[in-house]
Chains A and B, each alone.
Chain A
Amino acid sequence: MTIETKDSKVVLEAVQSAVTRYGASQDELIPILNDVNREIGYLPGEALDELSRLLKVPKSQLFSVASFYRMLSTKPRGKHVLQFCESAPCHVAGGREVWLAVKEVLKIEENETTPDGKWTLITTSCLGVCGVGPVMMIDDDVIGNVDPAQVPDILAKYQ
């Protein structure tokens, strides 16, 4: 695996700026974790250590929150994250075939990262854009009305 891990300076800066933005209080924990995750791509152990120190909350408690929510990740992810909606409305509208096409192109299974570190494939529950199912989300782009035949072209746009 060649996933790059972020150096500690970047991690600490991201944590500090999020804590400054929201205030050092446990009530603001989820917004803080959200921002750090967005900035770094995941929540490294170092980030949780620093947060534990700043918020005066045990790391175990931070980890329990960080591992609970779908949008937060405690493991490094690939350069691009493909979230595939596997809820019933997309499934019925043809999601089944799209899912097979995605796996065919990326040659990985759910929760795996490609050997070159470019793609991480995860499934998600509803993304709230069900009118245009089947839907998948690549990084921050929501892509609707996906046809299995378009999948290679869609993925090729991400370098």
Chain B
Amino acid sequence: MKAIRSMVLVSSDAQSIANGAKEVYQALQREIAAFGLENEISLTMVGDVGRHDASPLVIIYPEATIYGPVKQEDVHYIVEEHLYKGRIAASMQAPVRELSGKIAWLSARKGTLPAEQRIVLERAGVIDPYSIDDYIIHDGYQALAKALTDMTPDQIFDILEASGLRGRGGAGFPTGTKWRFVNRAKNDKKYVVCNADESEPGTFKDRLILEGDPHSIIEAMAIAAYAVGADEGYFYIRGEYVLAQERVRKAIEQAKEMGFLGKNIFGTDFNLELHVHAGAGAYICGEETALIESIEGKRGEPRPRPPYPTTNGLWGKPTLVNNVETMANVAPILRNGADWYRSFGPKNSPGTKVYTILGNLNVTGLIEVPMGITLREVIAIYGKGMKNDKTFKLAQTGGSSGSIVPAILQDTPMDFDSFSNAGVALGSGALLICDEDTCVVDLAKTLLNFFRKESCGKCNPCRIGNQRAFEILTNISEGTGTLNDLTDLMNLSDNLYQLSNCGLGQTAGAPIRDILNHYRAEVEAHIRLKVCPTGICPMSGKKI
């Protein structure tokens, strides 16, 4: 047997690839062979490790040294110094991400990047996603063993409820309670479904979890299935996520071979079969009932609710649907206990949250931090400030169905309750940070364009309302809007909220409401003065 003494990982997110990660990987292969180390060193391409400021990264374990940005010509020196002579090549190390001191409860731990608290992304970028052994060494499948041999379903619900875990798909429903509902539904056949149809613009956290640590979700699915009494489950992964589909399929095979899936798992009478179902490009399929329709081979049109999937889901059977990030929290909570989980974040929304930070920042990417940090901290610490020293104007949270958060709210803690008290929504974890050059009319028009195209068309308020709102905003951006249009927009926004069948239509009016609440003067300038204050809108005088 080969004894591996060092593990070398190369980041392979889109930006790393663009900056030459593949060439670096090939150079590492050559250099490791040239020094005759190929039997002692393992070399792996991993997914996104969240450090877009220094990609591509080369990470060497067990020392957890991070080198970056690494160029092809640096590889010889790194291999010679670190792997052959055993000294850290300090000049090549990635710059350390500094702590501001403002958020003292963020702990820096060995093996993770400073200033983050990683629970769901703990192993992403650290282990080889194709290796079930790597996962097992990092406490993998312990929680499943504990659940199956030591715990009753009710004990599992109790610990999840005590931990305060709330659904990370956007709605924030208590996870333990949802599981209990499915458990209480009487039926001889039940299903568990993992919602990985991550289509919310600006969100890619679930992709990174599935690509970087697929077994963690399989383990959580198995725990969920045992707890609610299901023996079959589906991963619904969006069609564009080809790599995530491949890695989950592979992981399911490995788990089956090891006996973590299949018949009589851990010698109990619990059986579970998991399938991967790929989507075909439809935002609406992230809505749980539309997702269920899609698995059944139909158009992804949401069903009326109630009845809820907890009693009438896939093929009419009780079905548990959870988001990937929610699932990723389950095994750590079972292993470490509810009190441990509650030690992160505020009292009413414990735990961590994965955010994707985007827009006019110096550094964009992905962070996992305790719930309750503020936008100001995100921009200053993780985003390293606004690009070109511009002024922060607004943040658009949670993809398209989130809120437009004005700069005045940048010190509001980002947790479910504080945000909802401030009249805004946290959404799915995308933070699109916009500077002073962003026009609110143009932004709202872009968002409504998204909704009018992604509306499934089943119910009229959504199909017609979004189209009409887009047309009115287009007229305003062309300088042909009227003040009456603003009244119409507010009515459309209210109608969308009150009359639409599902969450897509109900939240589609939010950008309109938000810009009229916070930026009415800027919108009126387009109408009264025929001027776009930021100079973005075409103002050509055309009218639809």
- Seen from chain A, the residues whose Cβ lies within 8 Å of a Cβ on chain B are 25-31, 33-34, 64-65, 68-72, 86-89, 91-93, 96, 123-133, 135, 142, 144-145
Contacts and interface: CB of A to CB of B under 8 A. Distances in A.
Interface in B436-476: 438, 442-443, 446-447, 449-450, 453-454, 456
Given A88-B201, A89-B201, A131-B364, A125 B443 contact: no
A132 B18 contact: yes
Contact of B396 (A88, A129, A131): A88
Contact of B15 (A31, A33, A87, A131): A131
Contacts of B44: none
17 contacts: A25-B297, A68-B282, A69-B281, A70-B281, A70-B282, A87-B201, A88-B201, A89-B359, A92-B438, A92-B443, A93-B360, A125-B201, A130-B358, A130-B430, A131-B204, A131-B358, A132-B52
B400 interface: yes
A31 B400 contact: no
Given A86-B446, A93-B360, A130 B204 contact: yes
A64 B294 CA distance: 12
Given A70-B280, A125-B453, A88 B202 contact: yes
Contacts of B303: none
Contact of B283 (A33, A125, A131, A144): A125
A128 B48 CA distance: 13
Contacts of B48: 131
Interface residues of B, number: 56
Most chain B C-beta atoms within 10 Å of own C-beta, residue among A33, A92, A96 = A92
Contacts of B443: 88, 91-92
Interface of B: 13-15, 18, 48, 52, 198-204, 207, 238-241, 277-283, 294-300, 356, 358-360, 364-366, 396, 399-400, 430, 432, 434, 438, 442-443, 446-447, 449-450, 453-454, 456, 536
Nearest to B363: A131
A62 B299 CA distance: 9
Given A27-B295, A89-B201, A131-B365, A144 B18 contact: yes
B297 A30 contact: yes
Contacts of A87: 201-202, 400, 446, 450
The 4 closest A-B CB pairs, nearest first, are: A70-B281, A87-B201, A69-B280, A29-B297
A38 to B, nearest CB: 10
